Structure 1
């Protein structure tokens, strides 16, 4: 869309945002036609273009956003409503920001929801007019790249309207994220370009931006700017005390010990009262990416703990202070403390007053869409890297040649950009992400090789692209055509002639940059405005993995090895919003990564749903924190936070509403036979006991099996070697202890589902008289060579979501689906349902799932090597009404490394070596 049409659309959205009620199809078109008569648009917008704008606005107004869940402390007392009625809360800063959101084209429903959610947060902060000492601690849990910065910018505006005089935003641990966050605060709260304000030439200082374009009666003061972090000397030059300002003061600082030290010293020198040694003005502290470096994990470098202590020290300087942590990955947060049940509650940053879950708008491009609903559309597997760029490599690894999959991804990005331009998105930005190494030296070599590829394509296009069909004789253009044919031939506005005609325009603009902590690093500058947006390929590592937004991210190439939930989710820069080009987005990654993202999405979905249930139950943040710390998936987070200790880790786990599977088994022939025997004994006993073995479309179902038969099977089956340590989540002692606590009540009767593959080319194997077709599952060949069978592949699951429907009635299945729709109003009817909903329906019995698995060890030129069939199981646990009931296991560092690999665990806790 041209700049003129974009301007018309923005004005129409702003006009309708000021009107009461939701717009109709008629009112949208009437508004557009009215604006078309203005001099700036008169005669320049035809009927077809006006209709296109109208349809786009209709789509935007169809976007919905839920209000999320709130878990409060018992002593919560609202104050905001009365303060507004009494005229103590203004609307200057929020009013400007609301108009900016409308100008940016956000649907009125989303703006209204943001208004409501930020009111909820503000109401849970301290009343700045209350002069008695107080401190508030809270947390907001959102989704990666879903608009958390926009949310806390709105909160900052409302806090300023309410009377907060000092606002501190602690951004990421890298300069580029701090600078980007400062720019967002400049636009949404300050209204002036702070980089220009810091310019030596006074004539060039003033540049009104963002909210400043709507109202210039007042501007907050910023003691930081887009060029520099907090500096004591600069702050002292501006004023001697916070209290001397009659407007709000804001700082956007890096999460860095030196910066925090400087700020603490400056406040002590200039703003504390001599008597109390405290600051009297109310302070709001926003901790962005609160799970990163803010956690008190005193096990490795002192830096992590020092930051935690400095944040707490900063808060303690104020008589009245609020701490709000924003994160999308709370599994790695202060909720998690495996040492004792109540240790986290003693930490001063624990969100003891409130926890709020943010719902993502319905147009959010998240893990559900990418890895479940439309995996085949968006995901491409990397399987050609090990020879040239192995997953694990050293700092001096050469990059003489690129994996063909990476070259293909670059070509896809060039084509996607050409299609976006054809769709009228020339003025929008377009980015590609390449995250394939944690080493900056390797990233530099990658950038150079990718630059060579782009130059080669550019040269070919400049010479031959104008030759019509004859251009396909050029091998580079022919390769682009092959990628177009495979990826985008059926996309809207993407015929090859159109794409070919726009290739040169794309290649002239594209830049390949390195984004890391090296001297070669270049800024991702998306501030350019004009007829053409930025087209950039960004090569980096950890700097691209937390908080940093890549505008218009269209293609990603992700080759990193991690099983840590927070690290993986934060590396998912491809999540977010992709208006009018979602269909063009592609993500290249290894098959294991796809499975982990799908699995993590389920865990995060569980967390948000649990938050909503706890809101209904009027649970407190402490109770929610304990629930999260007992989540079965806490183990992976524990590895991240505690690996450096080298000490045994006791972890308490609750298994309610969980699925446990044998994704890792010993490959010893003797143990394989013993496990098959354990399955045969169970099934033969059911047959001999006259249990009804009901044939199903995908196997056999036995209902109401007594728990003692299940217990015997779990006692005899071994997933791990005979000698400890064992895999915690398949530890028979852990599971049997949990079951035993409920064996007389809710786990007294089980359903048993024996799954059989529908694969027709394989002959059935008989187990206890039942004909079963094995399931093919990919396994890690390196682990298999060491005698361990580790399920890998695209799903990284032994079974499937359908398994957990077995044993349920049609009414129960319908109830589970309806609960999913209510929790996920943005989900489409065909969305894959999180199987946890099958575990929570009333009357759900626990389910044991058995299946034969045929390990796929390797495939070379169509020839597949399989291992010996093994018996695998899954346990689907329903909700539990039994209080407590958690079980404890202990695992040491050596075993954790065996389970999760020799990854950069300590580096991931602190950041890449950039």
Structure 2
């Protein structure tokens, strides 16, 4: 059942039992055991594990149903031949996990790594899986990791193949979301399958490399491989062996019970250790010489491969280190062509990408950056090497020149990992669906400004001072709350470390000054005196008590917390200072005990730093962040989000103090930006990118809709501010058509030029005339967003398809027609692709409290909507209101016979919906005031923004959602062509 899917359970059970034939008592006993099982029952746990695994399995040979669906579960029950009572019991105990899995964009590949293949050779994966379960990972999380890791390995080349091939792939996760767990799983499965040399590129600092080495040693390589032949009971034999001073050794390090080679598997030899990066091999090249039982056959032949030890090294992205590795490999000679190798590149968009300017290349020869050149050299030396990059910010990798065969473009696959359960990410700090002025729930709970204000909160000049003292008070207060919860039954593991991050600048001199300011504030805080207790009590009452998670123990009053404040302050001040400065020019500057979260029992500190804290480095126990650093690079800004991650037992205590009005640049080029809004903008872009990948991932007629080489046009279409790194070339794949049946088409970028804006507004005149004077009540049905019906007023009309297409086709855009691929689709809804007769146009009205009305082109009046453009861009964050979109989607989803009343009969299969918004930029307060006075909106100041939702039936039978063409028709298979 494990290898080939579910089978008739009763027949299989009795075939394996001692009884000669089943009895009614046997069947009844099994039923009663399952139906009466408590949540912790071992038998039920086993069934939960298997059912979840079958639910998650992607495209298994035994099933034609989609993973993670009720249909898949019903098929499993059918194959198991379970009766209705058992099905209901299992449905209650093991609900179907319907949340999305990983999204894969891939070239076609030759299947070799089947589930049966994986089950036949699974020594290290099975050990890793057991470890995860022992750490409390739920079945869904383990199965999800299994699924994602399997998706990577099956797209690598078969390590036993006679023909060498080096696959290139990219795995996209979320910032601090557990990417290391994924590549540990990939490594386990890959070495089980036959990969015998694994090189992990683990960051640019020893600090980061050491974190990765320890994680792999603890969870994959294990005690027996670390000890080698050393006797663990002989203290003299353990001298010089890693982790003897580590409090987690050996209890938390995986153990196999004996050397893997003694158990019929193979050993792993480490070529790096916790404290030692790759060095020129002390034992010469013999350390990389692979034993071959049959010397007449190559290493990759199964007769040799599965008996050979695996070699694993974790090296930092450092030119001299990688040069040593390349130099040693060159000494080995021809056998390099026989070694199945896997290169894992953590934070693959940092240092690995070639960023040299193609205009400066001489004689057309590619000039490479130092790290990129060494990685390319590794791949050339190892023709069987597979390269898999891991990052949370993929655009630099996606825009690598795919025509450079020696570079790292993910030509074979791109896998986007799902957001993990219990992960604190974008949605916890930004209300992405909130468009009206004011805070949303996420912002109210977790986000605080940097300044106290006496007047307009947008005016820094009126601030009475920053809130660094308040942030420090919050750090002490949350430390006390953690101690309180620990005393009241919450497991203390997540509270081992408690940290605050202060990130204002990349300049070391400013770090020193800031650290001194924090020390001075700390000395004068008087947290355990009357004044300090008064501040903390006030902060507790207005903030942390208000937003406490009701499922976690929280004191009713500050007095119940007071006694924990002293201990929290004592821990933070341990060593004489609450502050650690994290910066420096050399590795020695980072060799501080309090930065080693693995070896130091309790790190309760305020970390002050810059770049080194904004990429890769995990700040354990991070609860309070005080953040003011600005940057013009989207990926850099996203990587600064150290406040993202897992916060078990204290996610309600997490606070982000972030600059709302900060200066970017100097002199004439200086401008003021809202750092929180800028962060939200790039988060929206990242989420949109993931959404686009998910739309185009399903196969059509068994073939991919999109290949990795076609991803850059998708990104450029929706993220015009991201530029390809290869400036002298452009991608050959051009996006022609995007089909969106039942999905919103909502341009985000609108012209800033007043003349274009005025002309575009005038082109909507006939529609505005049809809307003028109408009114309807739009009622939303109760759904998961609200148990009660809601409503809003709107002007409405119905216009022919040809009229809408004429308006949309006539609109003008500043940086190319962002609507072009959608217009190609809409233009075919005249019967060529599908038939759409007309469109219901809805112009929502704001509530009376917030309503500003004006006539536009003499028509109306209409409600004006204030929207803000994203920082430094033409695009707005979100145009349509959440309730308006939900109502439109409900109309689109109604069956033909349904109705929402006289105003909104069933749309049918040939009517779509348009939401229309007269928008005034939020920054144009003078225009808003003028409108309020005159009741008339100038056409050059009003942007007619829109959302178009075609009917669900507006698609052809192939259901293909995207179409490309090659720019050079004589070279249809070329990924790129010269721009000229």
2:350 pairs with one of 286, 289, 292:
292
Describe the SS at the equivalent of 2:710: helix
- State whether structure 2 residue 658 is matched by structure 1 residue 569: no
Q: CA offsets per residue over residues 558-578 of structure 1, 9 Å max, x none?
A: 334356553343222222222
Describe the SS at the equivalent of 1:580: coil
- Per the TM alignment, residue 675 of structure 1 is displaced from its structure 2 partner at its CA by 5.4
The residue number in structure 2 matching 1:554 is: 623
CA distance in structure 2 between the partners assigned to 1:122 and 1:413 by the alignment: 43
The residue number in structure 1 matching 2:685 is: 600
CA distance in structure 1 between the partners assigned to 2:910 and 2:203 by the alignment: 46
- State whether structure 2 residue 885 is matched by structure 1 residue 804: yes
CA distance in structure 2 between the partners assigned to 1:241 and 1:144 by the alignment: 38
CA distance in structure 1 between the partners assigned to 2:508 and 2:225 by the alignment: 30
The residue number in structure 1 matching 2:381 is: 317
Matches within 5 A, 1:342-741: 343=402, 349-372=408-431, 374-382=441-449, 384=451, 404-424=466-486, 425=492, 427-457=495-525, 460-462=526-528, 464=529, 471=530, 474=531, 476-490=532-546, 491=548, 492-494=553-555, 495-510=557-572, 511-518=578-585, 521=590, 523=592, 524-528=595-599, 533-562=602-631, 564-589=633-658, 590=660, 591-593=676-678, 595-596=680-681, 598-610=683-695, 613-615=697-699, 618-620=702-704, 623-632=707-716, 635-636=719-720, 638-639=722-723, 641=725, 652-653=734-735, 656-657=739-740, 659-661=745-747, 665-666=751-752, 676-680=761-765, 682-684=767-769, 686=770, 696=778, 697-708=792-803, 711-712=806-807, 715=810, 726-728=814-816
CA distance in structure 2 between the partners assigned to 1:865 and 1:411 by the alignment: 44
> What TM-score do you get using the length of structure 2 for normalisation?
0.66
Q: CA offsets per residue over residues 811-854 of structure 1, 9 Å max, x none?
A: 61799xxxxxxxxxxxxxxxxxxxxxxxxx98673736232426
Q: CA offsets per residue over residues 531-577 of structure 1, 9 Å max, x none?
A: xx322322233322322222222222333435655334322222222
The residue number in structure 2 matching 1:258 is: 320
- State whether structure 2 residue 371 is matched by structure 1 residue 307: yes
- Per the TM alignment, residue 264 of structure 1 is displaced from its structure 2 partner at its CA by 0.9
Describe the SS at the equivalent of 2:327: helix
- Per the TM alignment, residue 695 of structure 1 is displaced from its structure 2 partner at its CA by 6.3
- Per the TM alignment, residue 451 of structure 1 is displaced from its structure 2 partner at its CA by 3.3
Over 3 Å counting, the alpha-carbon distance change for 1:385 and 1:857 in structure 2 is: farther
CA distance in structure 2 between the partners assigned to 1:525 and 1:149 by the alignment: 18
Describe the SS at the equivalent of 2:149: helix
Over 3 Å counting, the alpha-carbon distance change for 1:503 and 1:484 in structure 2 is: same
Over 3 Å counting, the alpha-carbon distance change for 1:518 and 1:345 in structure 2 is: closer
- Per the TM alignment, residue 513 of structure 1 is displaced from its structure 2 partner at its CA by 2.0
Alignment check: 8 A CA contact 1:672 1:870 kept:
yes
Describe the SS at the equivalent of 1:356: strand
The residue number in structure 1 matching 2:28 is: none
CA distance in structure 2 between the partners assigned to 1:59 and 1:534 by the alignment: 40
Alignment check: 8 A CA contact 1:264 1:314 kept:
yes
Alignment check: 8 A CA contact 1:65 1:362 kept:
no
Matches within 5 A, 1:105-144: 105-144=136-175
Alignment check: 8 A CA contact 1:632 1:655 kept:
no
1:873 pairs with one of 935, 945, 955:
945
Which structure is higher in RCO with an 8 Å CA cutoff and minimum separation 6? 1
RMSD over aligned Cα atoms: 4.9
The residue number in structure 2 matching 1:327 is: 391
1:272 pairs with one of 309, 324, 333:
333
CA distance in structure 1 between the partners assigned to 2:464 and 2:598 by the alignment: 31
Over 3 Å counting, the alpha-carbon distance change for 1:192 and 1:132 in structure 2 is: same
CA distance in structure 2 between the partners assigned to 1:114 and 1:221 by the alignment: 25
Describe the SS at the equivalent of 1:187: helix
Matches within 5 A, 1:63-82: 67-81=101-115
CA distance in structure 2 between the partners assigned to 1:417 and 1:673 by the alignment: 56
1:223 pairs with one of 271, 274, 278:
271
Alignment check: 8 A CA contact 1:851 1:873 kept:
yes
Q: Which deviates more from structure 2 when the two are superposed, residues 761-770 or residues 168-177?
A: 761-770
CA distance in structure 1 between the partners assigned to 2:535 and 2:272 by the alignment: 48
CA distance in structure 2 between the partners assigned to 1:65 and 1:763 by the alignment: 41
- Per the TM alignment, residue 421 of structure 1 is displaced from its structure 2 partner at its CA by 1.5
> What TM-score do you get using the length of structure 1 for normalisation?
0.70
Over 3 Å counting, the alpha-carbon distance change for 1:322 and 1:332 in structure 2 is: same
Describe the SS at the equivalent of 2:423: coil
Alignment check: 8 A CA contact 1:223 1:249 kept:
yes
- Per the TM alignment, residue 383 of structure 1 is displaced from its structure 2 partner at its CA by 5.7
- Per the TM alignment, residue 348 of structure 1 is displaced from its structure 2 partner at its CA by 5.5
Describe the SS at the equivalent of 1:849: strand
Alignment check: 8 A CA contact 1:702 1:753 kept:
yes
CA distance in structure 2 between the partners assigned to 1:439 and 1:60 by the alignment: 53
Alignment check: 8 A CA contact 2:500 2:606 kept:
yes
Over 3 Å counting, the alpha-carbon distance change for 1:651 and 1:109 in structure 2 is: closer
Alignment check: 8 A CA contact 2:107 2:707 kept:
no
- Per the TM alignment, residue 19 of structure 1 is displaced from its structure 2 partner at its CA by 5.7
The residue number in structure 2 matching 1:397 is: none
CA distance in structure 1 between the partners assigned to 2:800 and 2:632 by the alignment: 36
- Per the TM alignment, residue 809 of structure 1 is displaced from its structure 2 partner at its CA by 4.7
1:855 pairs with one of 916, 922, 928:
922
Over 3 Å counting, the alpha-carbon distance change for 1:560 and 1:673 in structure 2 is: same
Alignment check: 8 A CA contact 2:750 2:943 kept:
no
Alignment check: 8 A CA contact 1:655 1:877 kept:
no
- Per the TM alignment, residue 502 of structure 1 is displaced from its structure 2 partner at its CA by 1.4
Q: Which deviates more from structure 2 when the two are superposed, residues 130-139 or residues 248-257?
A: 130-139
Over 3 Å counting, the alpha-carbon distance change for 1:248 and 1:627 in structure 2 is: closer
Describe the SS at the equivalent of 1:74: coil
2:253 pairs with one of 211, 220, 235:
211
Describe the SS at the equivalent of 1:326: strand
Over 3 Å counting, the alpha-carbon distance change for 1:314 and 1:538 in structure 2 is: same
Over 3 Å counting, the alpha-carbon distance change for 1:81 and 1:609 in structure 2 is: closer
CA distance in structure 1 between the partners assigned to 2:97 and 2:889 by the alignment: 34
- Per the TM alignment, residue 185 of structure 1 is displaced from its structure 2 partner at its CA by 1.4
CA distance in structure 2 between the partners assigned to 1:115 and 1:551 by the alignment: 26
Describe the SS at the equivalent of 1:372: coil
Describe the SS at the equivalent of 1:211: coil
In terms of fraction of residues, the more helix-rich structure is 1
CA distance in structure 2 between the partners assigned to 1:96 and 1:402 by the alignment: 58
Over 3 Å counting, the alpha-carbon distance change for 1:660 and 1:779 in structure 2 is: closer
- Per the TM alignment, residue 193 of structure 1 is displaced from its structure 2 partner at its CA by 12
Alignment check: 8 A CA contact 1:183 1:193 kept:
no
Unaligned runs of 5+ in 2: 1-37, 51-91, 261-266, 293-306, 361-365, 433-440, 487-491, 573-577, 661-675, 779-791, 897-907, 968-980
Q: How many residue pairs end up in the alignment?
A: 757
Describe the SS at the equivalent of 2:478: helix
CA distance in structure 1 between the partners assigned to 2:474 and 2:767 by the alignment: 53
